[in-house]
Amino acid sequence: AARADGEALDAALDTVDPNDAPPPLLVSEGVREGGEAFLTSTPPQLDCLVRDTAAIEAAAGEADFSSILLPAPLSDVPDAPLLSLDGASDALRHAVAVVDLLAHQAPLLTSSYAHRTVLLSRLFTRTMPLPLPRTSSGAPPP
């Protein structure tokens, strides 16, 4: 069946008039600013998209890998006092991520150390206060 289909296709192609086929793609010759000739197959409507690679090559050089400053999500660490162990572990996890980010960006940020210190001191004194000693007047009874 495949052989018969192939033979039928060949017979159909033999009957095609060459004048019905699309015209061949013409390669035109252009001239660059320096007088150097080049060949292009770009249609004339798209001449504006043809780039002069000499201008691009002149800009080549070492890449500038400047650092990207990421915002530190300080609001991920809660401010309200935590009442559960799950909330405390989540707050500590967020604090580690923020402190790590601030430490890596220390060369780019001013007072990165102060931000880290304030974040951790607030976390341990206000958000996750330590239990009071048993002898304290505000401690719950045992």
Gap between the Cα atoms of 3 and 26, Å rounded: 36
Q: Identify whether 132 is part of a domain.
A: no
**Alpha helical stretches, state H, 1-142:** 2-14, 53-58, 85-104, 112-122
Tokens representing 40 are 């292009």
Q: Are strands 28-31 and 37-40 parallel, antiparallel or unpaired?
A: antiparallel
Residue 96 lies in a domain: yes
Per-residue pLDDT of 121-130, as tens digits, reads 989 888 887 7
> In sequence order, what are the residues at sequence separation of 6 or more whose Cβ sits closer than 8 angstroms to the Cβ of residue 139?
131, 132, 133
The reply to whether 83 falls in a domain is yes
Under the banding of pLDDT at 50, 70 and 90, the label for residue 93 is very high
- Kindly report the pTM of this predicted structure: 0.47
Position 79 in a domain? yes
Q: Tens digit of pLDDT for each residue in 12-42?
A: 878 877 777 766 655 555 555 555 555 555 5
Give me the number of domains the chain comprises: 1
| Of the candidate ranges 43-52, 59-68, 113-122, the one whose mean pLDDT is the lowest | 43-52
Structural domain includes residue 43: no
At residue 40, the 3 state secondary structure works out as strand
Residue 40 in any domain: the answer is: no
Domain assignment present for residue 89? The answer is yes
Full domain range(s) for residue 116 = 74-127
